[in-house]
Amino acid sequence: MEDRPATGSSSGEVDEAGATSSSKSSDARNRHRYRGALSSEKLRQMRSLNPFCEFLNEHRSEMKELCPELTAREVVKRAAAIWNNWSDNEKAVYRTRVAEERRRIVESWGDESLLSCLERKSASPKKGRRQEEIRQSHESETGVKEAASKRSPRKRPTHEVGDSSNHEGPGYYRLPPSLAQCSEQANWAQVGSCQVKTKCRKTRQSADSSGRSSATSANSSTLAQESSGRPGSVKALLKAARAKMAQQGEPQFSQVEDDQYLWDYQACLEGANADFNTEARSDAWSALDSDFASASQHGSLKECFLHNFIGFDKKLEDECHKLMLRDNNLHKQLKAATQELAVKKAQDDEERLALNKEDQEVCDALLWTDFIYRITIVNALKYVRVPGFPSAVNPENVVQFLRRAAEFIKQNGQSNKRFIRRFKAIMAELTMPKDPF
């Protein structure tokens, strides 16, 4: 690498020769880059040559045999966890195998430039230096972490499979986000989440206790300032109002009324009795004012709204009863309509069967009569030849035979009297059989 003048801190600063530092770094990166064009099939073939893919294809069947219930995603998770925990020496076998396969494929393509690019990348000392720098930095970070762990209490590791900060180096396989959570580390994540929840709960409890102690010890102005940012803290507001009224010399409300108003205000904030108006009190509320001292904190207001709740429940029961009656009525109507349709369908089926039977009988009678007539005529005229008709009579051409004979008699009635006399005699002696039906 050439020495660059350290005259600027930004990556886009221009030197005296007119070239930016970013362009120099890009030239250094592109020095061993292949500048040819590969087809999509070749690119797909080169991308499939991956050490982790080779490892996964080799051990997938074994993992499925050991744990048949594992899905494809879980198999990839476990394989990635095993691969990330391996050392470079264990991964070297698959890397060497992939490099040899890649070289063999490139040699079969006959691309000399790509082959030379692969050779330069494999022989480049920069890669070795980079691996050595990564190893040294990793060792230094490990030493710092060990020294820090000696000073601080031990904690359960919370690193993940796809975390590049804990696994660096050329052999680390980065999982996609959907597969980043490994099954071996699910328990660690669960323990970590439980610790976080416990810590948040303790922090919230300590904050509540400190807030109560500060509210007891602080003066009225401090309470007003603290409660102004928290509208739900009604107790602090009431205490501040009591202190202010005491300073002004005005008569204070009784503790029971304040507590009752406090409960009502909190219930309104929660939406429990949003329709209740504290300024315009009802008659029932005025009647119950005298019983506040002896009543419990929540009893008076509940008794005030009890008759409304009972009336509302009664209305609900009445509506439910009406809906039930309507449902029963509709069910009865539907049942009657269904029975009527079933009876009508049965009647239609019987009529259709009767009509079909009559039609079938008529059709059978016509076919039988036609067949008998044809056979009788053929037997009577089997020795008669009509001039101009190509063949003798048979059951298939009996209609054409009779039509040709009638045309011949009409055209040659005077010239061929012998044929006419013979034909008429045969037809006169012809008797049709009796209808079998």
Could you read off the pLDDT of 401-431 as tens digits, one per residue? 888 888 888 887 777 778 888 888 888 877 7
Which pLDDT does position 122 carry in this prediction? 58
On whether the CB atoms of residues 259 and 297 are closer than 8 A, the answer is: yes
pLDDT, residue 316, reads 79
Strand, coil or helix: 129:
helix
The tokens for 326 are 């309507």
Q: What is the pTM for the complete model shown?
A: 0.25
Q: Rounded to an integer, what distance in angstroms lies between the CA atom of residue 420 and that of residue 427?
A: 11
What DSSP string describes 254-281? PHHHHHHHHHHHHHHHHTSSTT--SSS-
Chain centroid to Cα 373, Å, comes to 75
Task: With beta carbons less than 8 A apart as the criterion, state whether 106 and 120 touch.
Answer: no
Q: Which pLDDT belongs to residue 128? A: 52
Q: 14 - beta bridge partners?
A: 20
Is 437 in a helix, a strand, or coil? coil
The whole-number pLDDT of residue 185 equals 45
21: its two tokens: 């530092």
Which pLDDT belongs to residue 137? 65
CA dihedral (130, 131, 135, 136) positive or negative: negative
Residue at 147: amino acid letter: A
Q: What CA–CA distance (Å, rounded) separates 102 from 118?
A: 9
Per-residue pLDDT at 6: 42
So what's the pLDDT on residue 243?
81
Could you list the mean pLDDT of each consecutive 10-residue stretch along the chain, which spans 437 residues?
42 41 50 59 71 86 87 87 88 86 77 65 54 64 58 44 43 48 43 47 54 48 46 68 72 51 54 48 50 49 62 77 86 88 85 74 74 83 84 85 84 77 81 61
Query: How far apart are alpha carbons 235 and 262 in whole angstroms?
Result: 7
The HSE-up count of residue 415 (CA atoms within 13 Å, CB side) is: 6
Cα–Cα distance measured from residue 116 to residue 124, given in angstroms and rounded to the nearest whole number: 12
DSSP letter (8 states) at residue 178: G
Start-end of CATH 1.10.30 domains in the chain = 38-137
pLDDT score of 65: 87
Q: Which residues of 124-144 are buried (b: 16+ CB within 10 A; e: fewer)?
A: eeeeeeeeeeeeeeeeeeeee
* Other beta carbons within 10 Å of 273: 13
> Can you name the residues that pair with 20 across neighbouring β-strands?
14
For residue 223 the two structure tokens come to: 């309470």
CB 241 within 8 A of CB 204: no
**Residue 106: per-residue pLDDT:** 76
Question: What pLDDT is recorded for position 145?
Answer: 57
pLDDT for the residue 392: 84
Q: For position 204, what pLDDT does the model report?
A: 54
Please provide residue 20's backbone torsions phi and psi, each rounded to the nearest 5 degrees.
-80, 160
Please give the CATH architecture assigned to the domain spanning 38-137. Orthogonal Bundle (1.10)
Task: Pick the closest to residue 115 from 56, 26, 213, 46 (CA basis).
Answer: 46
Cα–Cα distance measured from residue 365 to residue 437, given in angstroms and rounded to the nearest whole number: 7
Query: Could you read off the pLDDT of 122-168 as tens digits, one per residue?
Result: 555 444 555 666 666 666 666 655 655 555 444 444 334 434 344 44
Q: How much is the pLDDT for 279?
A: 46
227 C-beta neighbours (distance < 10 Å), count: 19
